[in-house]
Chain A
């Protein structure tokens, strides 16, 4: 059962080949036996999942089934789930039982998808390797000595390891795409504002965006149909009519103009990654797509601008974790200042503290203009680069990450080197564009991801372009050894 995609499972459920109870129980058994090896779940909600599966089967029996009713999924532990611990990968929220559902969670519940559990992640989504989690790192199912990427490393790993048919993730600077690439799965970060942020614990509000991770583009489209939509609780949610993201899956890519940003093909990319991307380009050429070089002159500055904007927003967003109303509180605070200093000092890990401090510094008196304002200006230049490029091309293509999965511990001592793993993904978040990663091959036995970037609101087109590739390749159907 677990080798089936979401689309295939939906058909099997519809045709009565399998029930949601059977399917959910099957996944729970796999989690039970296989998750210890990769540490991808921080909480497994078996009982609730089985109840929801039963309800899904009943709904189907009564003729009330939607397209995904009965398909179990997993949520990144950044989405609040009422009655279940929502830790955000942090000691700070280790004892936090969310008192409400995130909109994304509520939508999947309404769609009849049982929740298998909550997936591990970098603490407060700050990391590119899942090593900053309070619950220990997730291991890459393709090689458990290696990282799964981050911050949605747990979600990527459960999909790769067939421990969930699909999972939700969030992407602030590449947190869906980079782990998708490193685990050989498909993931899409939608246009900023497509998916409600209500109940999604904020890292950097103007960059954060939730999205689906699954094996195929078609599965991502089906999940996005559930996730996306206007939410009045989120002021930054886009008011647009609901869209069917599967509508362009079958559109051929013949004549499609694909842009190759010269800045994405310079030094810094591993040879193995470059080879895989070249092969993908060749495949698209074979399908009749045209390639042109595009210039994104300011994209090299995206990491620099991002490491001002994201920490600045996070320093403020994480101020609410103060040990007063919920979350970790230090033992015997001697006064109010001590309560704040130690609750936060002990509750947050080093990477979160580093980013809070960088952001605090960038916003403080005397530095605001040189850092924050400057970064916001560069952000505009980056967005304008994309706008110019999209006058000429339909989509932009490049690598998702400069290398395949690296070894656990390899970059933990050097934050800056770690930050550069997001060098190709960050510009997209600054501009607010949709982008996705899809598996395109292997280098030394490790998955390589291909990134597709679209213009605003062109998720359906991106998913179609990816689907056309996946129809003619097998990469998205491959499973890591031990998880087949």
Chain B
């Protein structure tokens, strides 16, 4: 209880440009090793970098979304170190003058409160390649396809005080970059990952404790687990009378532990200096305004609109706006169904649809039931063609690829029976078949009403309009 955790995150978001930040090589994921590493990416003698305009625009977009200052003249610098996945022996990054200055992001805490997390800066840099440690006769293989992929490194202030807050911040940033369309957010492929700077201090003290940096966390769960472990470890060290060593650590997800990365420890003297192959990056207000005009509705704005416009609860609005894809999907459903059915649409998107997606590990973008199709189904509930219960059956069939709602309803004969005569006929038959129950009911056993409803529904295969069945049964009994 007496320890306070202090966390700052450095998020690396791969920008979803088509070509690399300083070369014309493709950034497509999953190509054969080194087939997307051009002369510039390989650092061949004599090659030179030229900056990708889209990468700059994307950085500015994020800057505007977090209300940050855009640096009018930023500078690219070289960070010098030797590593086999770093072909030039230096990484082109930004050091003293990053493209995005100080900004902030609001996160929601579990108790419903919000907290503002400061963003120190965001800078453009190039990604490194990959080392493959499978055994090549005791050697390591180097694939440089990823080398030169644009990264936006978003550095937060040490404003988070628990692993949960760190996760909330990372999730919020994840949602934001996807809203902005600047990063695909694919964490398994490493498109969105972070380093966590973690320290602890006695509650009430102002001075930060010595921090460690946990590298390369590529899931929200790993982030949470890694920080939890690291906090415990640091407290143990301090309570045992020891001192935390400032170092880089790696999280082992199998063991749930962090361990020291000694290989990266020695003399981190990066010798930053302005890259003489690149000139200062000037960003004028015309460029900024052009990008501002392209900004989409941001998550917080959308959430508020969902509450006021659709009358959704805070919880529903927040859930539906977690990702732009889900929010867009929801709105398309509502448009197809009926503007008055927003609550029902919300329930279906968050319920049946999300459930089915989760079961199959699919993204909403490749749902077999499109928003239009789901809207069509909800419209059939609305116009009494089917009941809500039958609709679930129809949905399953649509998910299995059996066609749109109308096709399934038609093919399976699920259309609701609303013809009074037809329902009366069934009721008469049910009454005739169950004289004993009729007698009991008439002698005061009211509970048996449900039995008769059940029988009628059974006879009609669930298709009879429940309201009409109730009404007619009461009359007949």
Query: Which residues of A pack against B, CB within 8 Å?
Result: 79-80, 86, 88, 93, 96, 98-100, 102, 197-202, 204-206, 232-236, 312-313, 315-316, 318-322, 324-326, 336, 340, 360, 363-365, 368, 372
Q: Is B48 touching A319 in the complex (CB atoms < 8 A)?
A: no
Q: Is B48 touching A364 in the complex (CB atoms < 8 A)?
A: no
- Separation of A336 and B133 alpha carbons in the complex (Å): 13
Residues of chain B lying within 8 A (CB to CB) of residue A365: 269, 271
Residues of chain A lying within 8 A (CB to CB) of residue B277: 202, 205, 235-236
Q: Which residue of chain B has its CB nearest to the CB of A376?
A: B274
Residues of chain B lying within 8 A (CB to CB) of residue A364: 269, 271
B80-88, B248-256, B371-379: which lies at the interface: B80-88
Counting chain A CB atoms within 10 Å of each CB, the highest count among B42, B43, B49, B271 belongs to B271
Q: Is A363 touching B49 in the complex (CB atoms < 8 A)?
A: no
Q: Is A99 touching B44 in the complex (CB atoms < 8 A)?
A: yes
Q: Is A197 touching B48 in the complex (CB atoms < 8 A)?
A: yes
Q: A316-B273, A322-B89 are in contact. List 10 more A-B contacts (CB 8 A).
A: A202-B277, A205-B277, A206-B276, A234-B48, A235-B277, A236-B48, A320-B45, A326-B44, A326-B45, A372-B273
Residues of chain B lying within 8 A (CB to CB) of residue A315: 80, 271
Q: Which residue of chain A has its CB nearest to the CB of B278?
A: A235
- Separation of A234 and B84 alpha carbons in the complex (Å): 26
- 19 A-B pairs, CB-CB below 8 angstroms? A80-B44, A88-B45, A198-B46, A201-B45, A202-B46, A205-B277, A233-B50, A235-B51, A316-B89, A316-B90, A318-B89, A319-B80, A319-B88, A320-B89, A322-B84, A363-B80, A363-B272, A364-B269, A368-B273
Residues of chain A lying within 8 A (CB to CB) of residue B47: 198-199
Residues of chain B lying within 8 A (CB to CB) of residue A360: 271
Is B463 an interface position by the 8 A CB rule?
no
Is B187 an interface position by the 8 A CB rule?
no
Counting chain B CB atoms within 10 Å of each CB, the highest count among A199, A204, A325 belongs to A325
- Separation of A267 and B29 alpha carbons in the complex (Å): 64
Query: Which residues of B pack against A, CB within 8 Å?
Result: 39, 42-51, 78, 80, 82, 84, 87-90, 142, 269, 271-273, 276-279
Q: Is B276 touching A205 in the complex (CB atoms < 8 A)?
A: yes
Q: Is A320 touching B273 in the complex (CB atoms < 8 A)?
A: no
Residues of chain B lying within 8 A (CB to CB) of residue A102: 46
Select which of B45, B88, B273, B276 is within 8 A of A363 by beta carbon: B273
Q: Which residue of chain B has its CB nearest to the CB of A204?
A: B276
Known contacts A363-B273, A364-B269, A372-B273; is A336 also within 8 Å of B84 by CB? Answer: yes
Residues of chain A lying within 8 A (CB to CB) of residue B49: 235
- Separation of A320 and B86 alpha carbons in the complex (Å): 9
Q: Which residue of chain B has its CB nearest to the CB of A92?
A: B45
- Separation of A86 and B47 alpha carbons in the complex (Å): 14
Residues of chain A lying within 8 A (CB to CB) of residue B51: 235
Q: Is B87 touching A320 in the complex (CB atoms < 8 A)?
A: yes
Q: Which residue of chain B has its CB nearest to the CB of A202?
A: B46
Q: Is B45 touching A319 in the complex (CB atoms < 8 A)?
A: no
Residues of chain A lying within 8 A (CB to CB) of residue B278: 235-236
Residues of chain A lying within 8 A (CB to CB) of residue B42: 325
Known contacts A99-B39, A320-B43, A325-B87; is A233 also within 8 Å of B273 by CB? Answer: no
- Separation of A96 and B39 alpha carbons in the complex (Å): 14
- Separation of A199 and B48 alpha carbons in the complex (Å): 8
- Separation of A320 and B81 alpha carbons in the complex (Å): 10
Residues of chain B lying within 8 A (CB to CB) of residue A324: 84, 87, 142
B296 to chain A, nearest CB (A): 31
Select which of A86, A205, A233, A236 is within 8 A of B45 by beta carbon: A86
B272 to chain A, nearest CB (A): 8
Residues of chain B lying within 8 A (CB to CB) of residue A372: 273
Q: Is B90 touching A96 in the complex (CB atoms < 8 A)?
A: no
Known contacts A100-B39, A336-B84; is A316 also within 8 Å of B271 by CB? Answer: yes
Counting chain A CB atoms within 10 Å of each CB, the highest count among B48, B78, B272, B278 belongs to B48
Known contacts A204-B276, A316-B90, A319-B88; is A325 also within 8 Å of B50 by CB? Answer: no
Q: Give 5 closest A-B pairs by Cβ, nearest first.
A: A319-B89, A205-B276, A363-B271, A206-B276, A320-B43
A93 to chain B, nearest CB (A): 7
Q: Which residue of chain B has its CB nearest to the CB of A365?
A: B269
B464 to chain A, nearest CB (A): 73
B16 to chain A, nearest CB (A): 23
Residues of chain A lying within 8 A (CB to CB) of residue B272: 363
Residues of chain A lying within 8 A (CB to CB) of residue B90: 316, 319
